[in-house]
A and B are shown apart, each in its own frame.
Chain A
Amino acid sequence: MRIVIQNRAGEPIYQQIIDQIQAAILSGELQPGTLLPSIRGLAKDLQISVITTTRAYHDLEQAGLVQNVQGKGTYVQPQDPALLREQTLRQVEAGLQAALDAAKIGQIPPATLHEMLDNLMAAGGEDHE
């Protein structure tokens, strides 16, 4: 299991945890039924606060990706492909909307936006960490 966080990445740490676990679950790297590290164990391993890991796991549970079982731990939930697709679509939509909002403030014309999207897709849309 792999979770790597960066303090100064700009993104809140709990969000980084959510993103990485989510990615691992969606890609199948983390199979349904897998027991995740305990909230306290993870906090200690990542050298962060218990509240942070608690929040990450809580949000993951809200998103239906994991389930906290009292006294036992947190387990990866089986994912419904249709639901997954729906969620991913929503995420993409949110990302695009954010881009549009930023473009509006910077008064960037639609043509430039399309160009930027094409360039990014051409570059393979690779993971940039």
Chain B
Amino acid sequence: MNERLNVTNLAKTYPEFALGPLTFDLPAGYIMGLIGPNGAGKTTTLRLLLDMAQPSSGEFTLNGAKTADARQQARDDLGAMLDSTTLPDAWTMKDVDSNMKRLFPHWDSQQFMKLVAQFDINPKTMYRRLSKGTQNKVNLAVALSHHAKLLILDEPMAGLDPIARDELRQLLQSYIQDGEASVLLSSHLTDDLAQFADYLLYLIHGEQRFFGETDTLLSRYLLVQGGSSELTAALKNRGLGLRQTSVGFSLLLPTADQALATGLVTSTPDLDTLMIYLGKRGEDHA
């Protein structure tokens, strides 16, 4: 099987923050969502994958390339967009097009100008005069316009209204239609993602809490609700993210322990709920 990404024990240590070890794969033709609270390490992970920072340990293969140098040479096969992605101040969209044509062997001018129009960007305005949000859209358009086999996008949905988000979703699902290209995107708008992401990588405070098929994560826990008197010691022990109010309690219970919740109100949590209960630190005990 073709893998666009193959990551083994990737880790990075900063003075104030430690990320990893991370281990995950992304096969060709699928979408992976990178989720977690703010500060969990999502952007750091993407920066490692883009060789913008060197890992402290571990290794990874991207589009088949195992070294930073090889990956850098094969950038034509990779389309990326982060907050730090930028273009020269004075370039207009036409300048972007003519320059990228020289830089990327598979640059598709038609595709780029089509996206520029779709994103409502004035092709004659200089980059520095565009709003930050529009600049992000330009960088996204560039990433999508050279037939890259892997897209790495950092919070592409952020700052977009629901209509724009839906358009982006359509773009991304079309992008993987041929079963060759894959997409890795980070997002804190998780409910959207849970719908169409095939895989999820869930980070909390630098740690990899989950990697696998979206459905697997969502069926891992039950949301249990009941009256205060129904909160048993066993539930407290096995449950996570316990919330107690004057009108009862709620917590997440591993599906394996569902017998403990007999007679109580149980439901399958959506991704947002899951993340809320697991919290910033991924409370392991109630």
Are A and B in contact, CB atoms below 8 Å, in the complex?
yes
Flag if B214 contacts A105 (CB, 8 Å): no
Once the chains are docked, how many angstroms separate the CA of A14 from the CA of B214?
Answer: 12
Most buried by B among A14, A43, A49: A49
Flag if A40 contacts B213 (CB, 8 Å): no
Q: B189-221 toward A: CB 8 Å interface, digit per residue (1/0)?
A: 000000111110000000000000111000100
Q: Which residue of B177, B198, B215, B268 is within 8 Å of A44 (Cβ)? A: B177
Q: Which residue of A7, A44, A52 is within 8 Å of B174 (Cβ)? A: A44
Once the chains are docked, how many angstroms separate the CA of A76 from the CA of B34?
Answer: 37
| B114-134 with Cβ < 8 A to chain A | none
Query: Contacts A7-B195, A12-B215, A40-B177 known; A49 to B31 CB distance under 8 Å?
Result: yes
Once the chains are docked, how many angstroms separate the CA of A31 from the CA of B60?
Answer: 48
* Chain B residues near A81 (CB-CB < 8 A): none
Once the chains are docked, how many angstroms separate the CA of A62 from the CA of B263?
Answer: 35
For chain B, the bracket of interface size reads 20 to 34
Interface flag for B74 (CB, 8 Å): no
Interface flag for B75 (CB, 8 Å): no
Interface flag for A116 (CB, 8 Å): no
Flag if B268 contacts A10 (CB, 8 Å): yes
Interface flag for A47 (CB, 8 Å): yes
Flag if B268 contacts A50 (CB, 8 Å): no
Q: B174-196 toward A: CB 8 Å interface, digit per residue (1/0)?
A: 10110100000000000000011
Flag if A49 contacts B197 (CB, 8 Å): yes
**A40 nearest CB neighbor, chain B only:** B177
Flag if A49 contacts B179 (CB, 8 Å): no
Flag if A50 contacts B195 (CB, 8 Å): no
Once the chains are docked, how many angstroms separate the CA of A75 from the CA of B213?
Answer: 26
**B196 nearest CB neighbor, chain A only:** A49
The interface of chain A, by Cβ under 8 A from chain B, is 7-8, 10, 12, 14, 40-41, 43-44, 47-52, 55, 105
The interface of chain B, by Cβ under 8 A from chain A, is 29-31, 169-170, 173-174, 176-177, 179, 195-199, 213-215, 219, 262-263, 267-268, 270
